[in-house]
Amino acid sequence: MAQDKAQTFEIPKTCKAGVVVNEGPDFYVEVQDVPVPEIGPTDVLIKLNVTGICHSDIHIMANDWNMPKMSDLGTKCSGHEGAGVIVKVGDQVKNLKPGMRAGYKPVQDTCGVCELCRNGNECYCPKAVMTGLMVDGSYKQYIVSPERYTTLIPDGVNDYIAGPIMCAASTIYTSIKESQLRPGDCAVFPGAGGGVGLQGLQLAKAMGLRTVAIDTGEDKKKLCLEVGGAEHFIDFRKVENVADEVVRLCDGIGAHGVFVTAVQSYPSSISYLGNRVGGKVMCIGLPPAGTHHVDVDPTHMCMKKQTITGTIVSSMADVDKTLEFASRGLLKPIYTVYPLSQFNEAVQKLKRGEIAGRAVVDFNQDSSHSRSPIGHVNTSSSRASNGKQPAVEDDRSDEEALLADDPLDPDLPEQLSFKRKPKASASSFGFSRYFPSPLTPSSSHASPSPRSHRTTPSNGLDLNYLETPGSAGEHTQDAKDASGLDWHVEGPGRRVGYDDLTAIDWIFEYAKERQRLRYLYTGTSGILGHVKQLADASQVWIILVAAGILSGGIAAFIDIASDWLADLKTGYCRNVDGDGRFYLNKSFCCWGINEAQACHDWASWGSAMGIGSAGGRYVVDYVLFILYSVLFAACASFLVREFSPYAKHSGIPEIKTVLGGFVIRHFLGGWTLVTKTIGLCLAVASGLWLGKEGPLVHVACCSANLFMKLFSSVNGNEARKREVLSAAAAAGISVAFGAPIGGVLFSLEQLSYYFPDKTMWSSFVCAMVAAVTLQACNPFRTGKLVLYQVTYHSGWHDFELLPFIFLGILGGLFGGLFIKLNMGVAEWRKNRQYLKGPVREVVIVAFVTALINFPIKFMRAQASELVHILFAECADLTEDTLGLCKSGKANTGVIALLLVSSGLGIILAGLTFGLQIPAGIILPSMAIGGLFGRAVGLSVQVVQAAWPSLFVFSSCEPDVPCVTPGTYAIIGAASALAGTTRMTVSIVVIMFELTGALTYVLPIMIAVMISKWTGDAISPRGIYESWIHFKGYPFLDNRDDNGSSIPDVSASHVMTRIEDLTAITATGHTVGSLRELLSQHRFRGFPVIDNSRDALLLGYISRTELQYALQTALTPPRNLAPETEAYFAHQPLSDPTTSLDLRPWMDQTPMTLNAKASFQLTVSMFQKLGLRYVLFTDRGILKGLLTKKDVWYVMEGMEDEREDDGRGGLGEGRQEDEEDEQSDLLGTAEEEHAGLIGAHGR
């Protein structure tokens, strides 16, 4: 800060000051204009440029030291770390002049004549005037200081450094000096990673001492060794006995001096002296009165001449000496600068323990952003896990504060992403901090009272999870537990509803269901009991039957509506010589008319407009075809955007993720069902290269979800929900293909995560009911469940195996390349800058598609109609409108057109799948496969017709068609579908149900097998798995046996280690301190340990359960006070009615593994057991944790992204910001009027 050279200054009548308001626990600082004080004849007036904020200020303003209140002494402004310039001097001042730089200290003045003042201990003078308590302190810009007690600031020390030196650095210097340690002695600093501890390390090094730093974490180790200059660093989480390690490093005897700035280290500090004769414990940090004690063995103290002493603040001489160290560059404090407008924010952050190092307020800076001078660490956005108020030079907050900005702002309204955030800037340190409760002494020298931590906030280790921006929410949730059962006896505990986009606890859900059934069967008897049991067992079947009926009805509606809308693009039905009506599609309009006759009731748009020329009619039909196509597609996209964003795409990737145990709210809600149904009719009718088969699976699951809400025993259990959804998914494929058995196998092969035998039976029932309903509706009036059901009357020949194998290769090539094309388009679309809005994208693609479709007869037809014609035998086609049954050389032109159509179809399907409309990929894949399959079949037919006498055709009978091109089309469709989805058995069964030709099962199986092998060689993931990966859903496939993607390392290389966790100790908490912990951290859950030294694992508590338990404890009927004791272990001695037992909400039997277990074993447990997290221990001692998302990151090869969060490598956790907590999983009542939650504000 530049020194003002002027000798005279204009002094205003008022100045800015941070005035303390509402003195007490809820105090705050308000910037006000106050009068500039008058000076006496021996005083100087200092205009402060900066003021430091000390922990003792917090205690004085909170009045928790049992001292007189500021207000009782007439003081309005706290503070005692000021630095500025002298602007006025009194008449009798001789040695100071205006323009000199000066500091303002914790003691304003003393008597100057007592023995304490004469021997350099003036800060203990009984007449000492305490700054900020007895007189206004440095929170006021203009302050009065006596000449003889004013400290001059040397050149080379800026005000940002000089202000905190007035108290913080000079106090630790005084403690080191008064310890009388000599060069070469061992000085131990517990909590050395904090701001005061780091300054102590630097000063001790400069004074020739051998320094030992005690803290935890690689980041603090680096800070202590590189910034503090420590010779040794002890990580108390990795060392079995810290005291023994200290003794070993200190000549095998013990420390000469222990300098305690973190109050939690007091109980164990005496043990660090070991057997050192004359060892000293120097007490520096001052906690609130009566909260911390040091228990000692007087015999040991006498035998070893050990002492415990303390210091409060420094003398004038010590301040000058500390400034000298700073001017020589030997002291490099860490500080944060706040503008005047953020005075209260800075104070409150320090009060909550969210600032590392020292906090400085600049009176001359009134901007809205804090800043840090070059070369020093800016910690303006750091957060700590402990809300306890630090004392004078209490280094607890410094020790615990994170030196990195929070990577996620909880208020950002951005879309959910499971991808890692960009790496933290180089100007911030990504240090994770361990926040222990008072350490248990490592020897018998200290044994703190078990009740001594009653008011200590929750403690733990800091584990950062990636989540999405959002709020933990203030909403309480209904407890989803078996009420009436005692969890202590046999219950799995109590839980609340899962947050959006979190994993469910399969083990807990199944345990809860078993408990419910035991209660049901043991609590009922007689006829009424049997009726209740029967009613309970019937609930699932009622849901499945109702869902099957609704799914079949919706499928019939979609078939009828989409056919009518699609035909509307080419004309309309009028009443000329029949019973034509406008609401009839072309097929029904011309019903009963011989194909050889003209249908006068159906009119093209050109004819309806009276255009006589064929060319004119063609142009009009072309234009209206395009307009209707674009209109239908735009309407479908608009509905999705406005009413339910989850109705887009096929929905199968999300269903796989939900069935895998992940929570996606609103995905299966009522609005999603309505939007998907109407949007699917419009999208299919638009002529885009998409299908309705995949979306029908989504529709069926939505139907089941609606009926599940009627039965609480099903709706209240997330595992049972997924069993029902798995069965309902089979109904979707059943009505899509008219293949109920294929639907069951599809659910088994493609969707279901856990598929018990009873679920297979449920799937069969639901699929059968859906198929029967669709058959009863008979939407095509042909008795067929789907339009492209065909029947074959001929078999196949041996020579056709080669073309079938070739089709399998083509199908695999198509599938692998199509997936790469589609994913490339999706990536490009995500990064595009000029296509604004999903509706505009859909309109452009629909326009291009219609432009291409109309001139090409194969592409103009609806996909289902095209597949039907491609599959059919020529004998069954009464009219060959597409020219597929021409013979001889006439076939060559058709073959070329088929190949061109398939090529264009691949491109258009790649562009379409992924647009913001309901769209499936199954039927387009079948259509493309049918096109190139029919082309291959026609090619074989041409060759056989040209050279019938070749030996390969010797099995052909004369005068009988030898080759059936339609069978090639269906085998091509099967191979293309296998290449795209990587399904096998279900495809074969579906094709068999479509054709009823058992003889073609073997060729289909061969083609499907080869297609899958070929596709896997090109792209290891199917289309649905690729979209799951693209969208970042944490889906772990329990059928994935490919071990190559699993690193061959132990779990300890991947887990989040204990020093990076936020663990909660079993006791020593209050309700308020735990709420403070939740407000400071957005983690999904917390391991519970016995104490911070032993770290013996007791269990795990989820954030939602902890928040719900605390909320209900503070509200009627309990109405507990925030200072009420809360515990996770034994019942305390206090009245249980006035304490909070959190054991019912804790998972007391979490899944654990030894830290040396292989990562492959860990992955297998996550996959097979559906775990949310695994805790790693060593003989019961907590070593680390892995969540499902951690495993997913590693499995997806995203280790680098885990490192990019600025907190280290694979072992680092990720910060997870919370969504609003609601009790329902798959949709709530609010979902009827909402789309995505929080935009994905999580």
* Mean pLDDT of the 25-36 span: 92
Q: Which of 182-186, 495-499, 583-587, 1189-1193 has the lowest mean pLDDT?
A: 495-499
Give me the percent of the chain exceeding a pLDDT of 70: 80
Alpha-carbon distances of 99 from 1, 88, 733, rounded to whole Å: 13, 9, 86
More confident residue, 1201 or 810: 810
More confident residue, 530 or 1215: 530
| Burial environment of residue 1131 by CB neighbours within 10 A (0 to 12, 13 to 18, 19 or more) | exposed
Tokens matching residue 213: 């730093």
35 beta partners: 14
* Structure confidence at residue 755 (pLDDT): 64
pLDDT at 195 over 50: yes
* Structure confidence at residue 367 (pLDDT): 60
* Structure confidence at residue 887 (pLDDT): 60
pLDDT at 462 over 90: no
pLDDT tens across 913-953, in order? Answer: 999 999 999 999 999 999 999 999 989 988 888 888 888 88
pLDDT tens across 133-167, in order? Answer: 889 999 999 999 999 889 999 988 888 889 888 98
pLDDT at 486 over 90: no
pLDDT at 509 over 80: yes
Q: Which of 11-15, 412-416, 937-941 has the lowest mean pLDDT?
A: 412-416
Q: What are phi and psi of 1107, to 5 degrees?
A: -65, -40
* Structure confidence at residue 1053 (pLDDT): 87
Fold of the domain spanning 536-777: Clc chloride channel (1.10.3080)
More confident residue, 248 or 402: 248
Q: What is the pTM of this model?
A: 0.60
Tokens matching residue 481: 């537990």
* Structure confidence at residue 1131 (pLDDT): 57
pLDDT at 443 over 70: no
Provide the sign of the torsion angle of the four alpha carbons 341, 344, 350, 352, taken in this order: negative
| CATH class (in words) of the domain with range 14-164+330-374 | alpha beta
pLDDT at 289 over 90: no
* Structure confidence at residue 592 (pLDDT): 67
More confident residue, 1093 or 385: 1093
Q: Which of 76-80, 744-748, 996-1000, 1198-1202 has the lowest mean pLDDT?
A: 1198-1202
| Domain 434-488+1046-1203, CATH among 3.10.580.10, 1.10.340.30, 3.40.309.10, 3.40.50.300 | 3.10.580.10
Alpha-carbon distances of 450 from 300, 454, 1066, rounded to whole Å: 23, 8, 11
Q: Which of 471-480, 746-755, 918-927, 975-984 has the lowest mean pLDDT?
A: 471-480
- CA–CA dist 726, 553 (Å, integer): 19
pLDDT at 1235 over 50: no
Question: Residue 753: pLDDT band by 50, 70, 90 thresholds?
Answer: low
- CA–CA dist 83, 362 (Å, integer): 10
8 Å CB contact between 251 and 168: no
Tokens matching residue 1226: 């798959």
Taking Cα atoms as reference points, which of 394, 28, 353 lies closest to residue 1076? Answer: 353
| Domain 798-1031, CATH among 3.30.360.10, 1.20.120.530, 3.40.50.720, 1.10.3080.10 | 1.10.3080.10
pLDDT at 1067 over 50: yes
* Structure confidence at residue 788 (pLDDT): 61
Taking Cα atoms as reference points, which of 969, 944, 956 lies closest to residue 884? Answer: 969
* Mean pLDDT of the 1033-1055 span: 74
* Structure confidence at residue 1136 (pLDDT): 60
* Structure confidence at residue 1014 (pLDDT): 95
Dihedral of CA atoms 741, 742, 747, 749 in degrees, nearest 10, equals 120
pLDDT at 469 over 90: no
pLDDT at 1008 over 80: yes
Q: What is the 3-state secondary structure (H, E, C) of 861-883?
A: CCHHHHHHHHHCCHHHCCCCCCC
Domains 536-777 and 798-1031 agree in fold: yes
Question: Residue 350: pLDDT band by 50, 70, 90 thresholds?
Answer: confident
* Structure confidence at residue 846 (pLDDT): 95
* Structure confidence at residue 906 (pLDDT): 95
pLDDT tens across 662-673, in order? Answer: 888 889 999 999
pLDDT tens across 362-403, in order? Answer: 998 876 545 544 334 333 333 333 333 333 333 333 333 322
The secondary structure element, H or E, covering residue 557 is helix 526-568
Taking Cα atoms as reference points, which of 889, 979, 1000, 884 lies closest to residue 926? Answer: 979
* Structure confidence at residue 68 (pLDDT): 85
Provide the sign of the torsion angle of the four alpha carbons 281, 286, 292, 298, taken in this order: positive
Which residues are CB-neighbours of 87 under 8 A, at least 6 positions away?
9, 11, 45, 46, 47, 98, 142
pLDDT tens across 305-325, in order? Answer: 999 988 888 888 889 899 988
* Structure confidence at residue 578 (pLDDT): 57
* Mean pLDDT of the 759-779 span: 90
pLDDT tens across 872-921, in order? Answer: 887 766 666 676 776 655 577 888 999 999 999 999 999 999 999 999 99
pLDDT at 1207 over 70: no
* Mean pLDDT of the 335-354 span: 87
* Structure confidence at residue 801 (pLDDT): 92
- CA–CA dist 729, 732 (Å, integer): 5
Question: Residue 41: pLDDT band by 50, 70, 90 thresholds?
Answer: very high
pLDDT tens across 1184-1202, in order? Answer: 999 888 888 887 765 545 4
More confident residue, 560 or 1170: 560
8 Å CB contact between 694 and 651: yes
* Structure confidence at residue 1221 (pLDDT): 33
pLDDT at 1035 over 90: no
User: What rounded mean pLDDT belongs to the chain?
Assistant: 79
Q: Tell me the three state secondary structure of residue 1156.
A: coil
* Structure confidence at residue 1213 (pLDDT): 35
* Structure confidence at residue 955 (pLDDT): 81
Is the preceding omega at residue 1117 within 30 degrees of 0, hence cis? yes
Q: Which of 175-189, 429-443, 587-601, 649-663 has the lowest mean pLDDT?
A: 429-443
- CA–CA dist 54, 390 (Å, integer): 9
pLDDT tens across 579-625, in order? Answer: 657 788 888 887 766 555 667 778 888 888 888 788 888 999 999 99
Q: Where are the domains of the chain?
A: 14-164+330-374, 434-488+1046-1203, 536-777, 798-1031
Strongest mean pLDDT among 216-225, 257-266, 562-571, 1189-1198: 562-571
Dihedral of CA atoms 354, 359, 362, 367 in degrees, nearest 10, equals -20
